[in-house]
A and B are shown apart, each in its own frame.
Chain A
Amino acid sequence: MDYFKQTLKTDCEDLLARFQATASVRFEEFSAIWREMKFSSIFYGILEPSEKKVFTRLVLSAASQYLLPPYSFQIRVGGLYLLYSLYTSQFNVPKERIRIALKDWDELIRFQQDAVNAQHYDVVYILKKLLSEQAVCFTAMPDTLSFQVKKKRVDRRQQLCESFVDRPTRPQELIGTDLLEELANVHEHYEGLKKAILPRPPQSNLSLVKPNLVPKLRSAVLTFCSWQQNQAEFGSPSDGDAGEGTSSQAHDESSRRAQLLASIKSRSYAQAVEASRSRRHRQIELTSAAQDSESTRQIPRFRKPPSLKMRTSSRFTAEGSENGGLQRTTRLWRLTAVEGEKTEEKKKRRFIWKERMRSEH
């Protein structure tokens, strides 16, 4: 059954991309796309009853990842609608349920609160409906696990759909006017304290504190912001509204919604992936953004540092390249093997049952 994983991902993301293009969170928009794609027929053509169950579990599991961060609020709404639609369209009796892990529950409640605050009644209604129909299975982990180490490692790489994720807004959010004001106060106070502990009035050329800290910080954030906008203009395909023939009133309505959505998006992002990236990493991103916006795009985000062995050997050869003789004599206590000196033993020996059995007889 696992061979459907990739195609299910393709189908779900196709549907959600179309939903994203509507720039709406209305269920009408979603169900129109669902009908247009004839998505209900995804359950057609399965003959074995047990296969129906397994397939339903698989498709629900494929869809449920879009319900959670780091995906944007709109995609998460799409994910919720998708789960609801799949749940209601399945043929199983009793119905296969949507698995929610305990660790994701808080996230779902926050999502519901955001929807309530923004008065997205259809989102709240569907969420409540799923719960009251007991369509949710309260579990320990999102999927059942059976220690399939090798299999999972392959498909872990291609999981996140980048275009469904909001751009990071954490720096802008964190460094708002309030914070800058506060920081300016603290900074002033700090400078005053430093001056106070000096025995005599300081000379003008002695800098006690970093001057212009607040303006510098502000400009750094602004640079990051504009760099991000440039990136977006070049990078992403145009998010044209697909609103064909919408009346002016509806358009007004949707733009009001878009504003609301934007505020929610920024809020819902507050609990998103950012936590996994270290602060230090973000600092690097900020400064490099200020220096050169083009080159940063080419640099892979996570570059694997060279191994200890590599670093040792490169340092060793760089520092002591002139006395090669010395290297040869010191080989005994050296902990690493020199490049090109690999022996055949390096080849991994595999345990072969057949040989083992033969040797026993």
Chain B
Amino acid sequence: MAEGGDTNAVNENVPVYEHVGVNSKPFHLGSFRDLWLSVLKPEDYSFNETSGEIEDAQFIEELGITPQTLEELKTICSPDSLRCHAEDETPDPDLVPANPQLATLKLRKRRLDYKKTLIRDIVGRHDMFSNELEMLSLGRRAEDASDTVPEGEIILTFNIMYPVLFVRFRHVRAYQTLHVLGSQKLTELRDAICCVSDLQVFGEFSNTPDMVPQFISKDHYKSAFFFFEGIFYNDMRFPECRDISTVTRDWAKTRGFPEFNTAKMEEATFSDLRMKVGYPYLYCHQGDCEHVLILTDVRLVHKDDCLDRKLYPLLSHKHRVMTRKCCACHLYISRWITTNDTLAPMDPCLYCDQCFRLLHYDQHGNKRGDFQAYAYVDPGAFN
């Protein structure tokens, strides 16, 4: 009882759910793109608009209808047929209409009415900011035509979580959202992930506060890896880079895990990868700063997207962290952290640059009292 027609085998690069609503099965990103392009017509994803007349002619021919029928269809299906108010009225779209019938509107009205009763209306600065970010990139075209994202390219969206920095904020899942192109290298994403642990300066500088070196951890410790689908992608661009996944792989070997493979981060593009959408992966840098990474979306590029290649990886969301202010002026963001400080109200204590110097040094720059001072980078410094 063979069923005719349904003979084509299920292609494993057509993404399907592994767990419904949670994550997909792994698929090869480049092949996924090719599959989309094979079923679509070029005009479906082209950046140029096809002229309406050509489309009309095609439609008439394909369906074998008269031009009159098409005109009729256009009238019946026009957006005007969906207008819910009289032609001379213009309702205010910012207001929920009186006596709404839709369940969604009733709920929105309830919520808006409740919001009004609150004294403090927190209009999220964050919302405004993320909106700004999106506005910046919308429909951006490259100045140089050679920098234009090609038609049929894929855009990947990554959510990169921050490690839990404070116990206080542990229930807030801080993350940033970055969009990368399928043809980009993994290292391009790595360079776009900003994390405070890359900016730390090591050393005690209470005797020489003016001599804080400009070298930050990022310049000292360049090793990092991504872990995707059982493969460690190591950053090996610089001679001082090391394969820091060795420790993990050796540990896994002694515990009877199957062997993990390694690859070079700078040699792989995202299109080369096999990944699951919605599944947690790992980014590790500075030895032990670990970020969970989730590929939340893969899609074909659209003419309304940012089409300037140079602007990718594109940041579209950035969690704002509370900044820690100076303990003396409560105004400026802290730059110094002191310990064993007899002048300080607590231990350790945070100061802005100015207060730190005024309090701890006399006019000749001599140290007052005994204390240790370290450079401090606030997690909110990226805000």
Cα(A106)–Cα(B59), bound, Å: 20
Name which of B27, B77, B79 has the most chain A CB atoms within 10 A of its CB.
B77
**Least CB distance, A141 to chain B, in whole angstroms:** 5
A160 → chain B closest CB, angstroms: 12
Interface-located stretch among B185-193, B202-210, B295-303, B347-355: B295-303
- Which of the candidate stretches A84-92, A235-243, A311-319 sits at the interface with the other chain? A84-92
Q: Is the CB of B84 within 8 A of A39?
A: yes
- Of the stretches B17-25, B228-236, B364-372, the one at the interface is B17-25
Mask: chain B, 32-71; 1 = CB below 8 Å from A; 0 = not: 1001100110011100001000010001001101000110
Partner of A124, one of B63, B104, B303: B63
B279 and A121 form a contact (CB under 8 A): no
The reply to whether B102 and A38 form a contact with Cβ atoms under 8 Å apart is yes
In A137-154, which residues have CB < 8 Å from any B CB?
A: 137-141, 143-149, 152
Is B82 touching A34 in the complex (CB atoms < 8 A)? yes
Query: Would you call B32 and A43 a contact (CB within 8 A)?
Result: no
- Asked whether, in the complex, the Cβ of A27 is within 8 Å of the Cβ of B76, the reply is yes
CB distance from B85 to the nearest CB of A (A): 8
The answer for the CA separation of A147 and B69 in the assembled complex, in Å, is 48
Q: Are A27 and B77 in contact (CB under 8 A)?
A: yes
Q: Are B22 and A144 in contact (CB under 8 A)?
A: no
In chain B, what residue has the closest Cβ to A47? B94
Q: Which residues of B contact A103 (CB under 8 A)?
A: 14-16
Q: Are B280 and A147 closer than 8 Å at their CB atoms?
A: yes
CA distance A51 to B94 in the complex (A): 12
Residue from A34, A138, A140 within 8 A of B84 (CB atoms) = A34
Residue-wise, chain A 1-22 has the 8 Å CB interface mask toward B (1 for contact) of 0011001101100100000000
> CA of A209 to CA of B116 in the docked complex: distance in angstroms?
80
A89 → B minimal CB distance (Å): 6
Q: Given A145-B277, A147-B280, are A7 and B103 neighbors across the interface (CB < 8 Å)? A: yes
B106 CB–A CB distance under 8 Å: yes
Kindly state whether residue A306 has any CB partner on chain B within 8 Å. Answer: no
Q: Are B127 and A51 in contact (CB under 8 A)?
A: yes
A125–B65 CA distance with the chains assembled, in angstroms: 12
* A165 interfacial contact with B, CB 8 Å: no
Restricting to A176-206, which residues have a CB under 8 Å from any CB of B?
179
Main secondary structure of the interface of B (DSSP, over half): mixed
A116 at interface by CB-CB < 8 Å: yes
Nearest chain A CB to B147 CB, angstrom units: 21
Whether A147 lies near B97 (C-beta < 8 A) is no
A52 and B36 alpha carbons, distance in the complex (Å): 29
**A87-117 CB contact bits vs B (8 Å, 1 = yes)?**
0110100100101011101100100000010
B-facing residues in A10-48 (Cβ within 8 Å): 10-11, 14, 27-28, 31, 34-35, 37-48
A42 vs B102: C-alpha distance in the bound complex, in angstroms? Answer: 7
B83 touches A40 (CB 8 A): yes
Contact of B138 among A7, A94, A125, A137 (CB under 8 A): A94
Binds B, one of A128-136, A280-288, A335-343: A128-136
Q: How near does chain B come to A139, taking the closest CB pair, in angstroms?
A: 4
How many chain A residues sit at the interface, stated as a range, is 35 or more
B278 within 8 A of A: yes
Please state if B82 and A40 are interface contacts (CB–CB under 8 Å): yes
B108:A134 contact, CB within 8 angstroms: no
Q: Is the CB of A102 within 8 A of B105?
A: no
The closest CB in chain B to the CB of A271 belongs to B6
Q: Beyond A43-B93, A145-B23, A147-B280, is A139–B297 a contact (Cβ under 8 Å)?
A: yes
A101-B15 contact, Cβ under 8 Å, with A31-B81, A45-B94, A140-B298: yes
A152 partner, pick from B22, B44, B65, B97, beta carbons under 8 A:
B22
- Residue B358 at the chain A interface, CB threshold 8 Å: no
Inter-chain CA distance A148–B1, complex, in Å, is: 42
| Chain B residues touching A, range | 35 or more
Q: At the interface, yes or no: A320 with Cβ under 8 Å from chain B? A: no
Docked-complex contact A44 and B55, CB < 8 angstroms: no
Q: Which residues of B contact A132 (CB under 8 A)?
A: 43, 50, 55
Given contacts A140-B24, A156-B20, contact A94 B91 (CB under 8 A): no
| Contact pick for A50, options B19, B130, B138, B296, CB 8 Å | B130
Residue of B nearest to A85 (CB): B82
Minimal Cβ-Cβ distance residue in A for B152:
A138
Could you tell me the distance between the alpha carbons of A106 and B10 in the complex, rounded to whole angstroms?
12
**Residue interface bits B277-320, CB-to-A below 8 A is 1, else 0:** 11110000000000000101111101110000000000000000
Q: Check: A126 CB closer than 8 A to any chain B CB.
A: yes
Chain A residues in 8 Å Cβ range of B150: none
Question: Is A332 close to B, CB under 8 A?
Answer: no
> Smallest Cβ distance from B76 to chain A, in angstroms?
6
* B5: min CB distance to chain A, Å: 9
CB distance from B83 to the nearest CB of A (A): 7
A303 CB within 8 Å of chain B: no
A85–B106 Cα distance when bound, in Å, is: 21
Contact A41 B84 (CB under 8 A): yes
Q: Are A147 and B279 interface neighbours, CB within 8 A?
A: yes
A contact residues around B93 at 8 Å (CB): 43-45, 91
**Which residues does A use to contact B, with CB under 8 Å?**
3-4, 7-8, 10-11, 14, 27-28, 31, 34-35, 37-51, 59, 84-85, 88-89, 91, 94, 97, 99, 101-103, 105-106, 109, 116, 119, 121-122, 124-126, 128-129, 131-132, 134, 136-141, 143-149, 152, 155-156, 174, 179, 353-354, 357
Q: List 8 A-B contacts (CB under 8 A).
A: A27-B81, A34-B82, A45-B108, A119-B63, A126-B77, A145-B277, A145-B294, A357-B167
Q: A94-B304, A99-B299, A139-B300 are in contact. List 4 more A-B contacts (CB 8 A).
A: A7-B102, A10-B103, A132-B55, A145-B278
10 smallest beta-carbon distances between A and B, as pairs: A145-B278, A45-B96, A152-B21, A7-B103, A140-B298, A94-B304, A139-B299, A7-B104, A138-B300, A38-B84
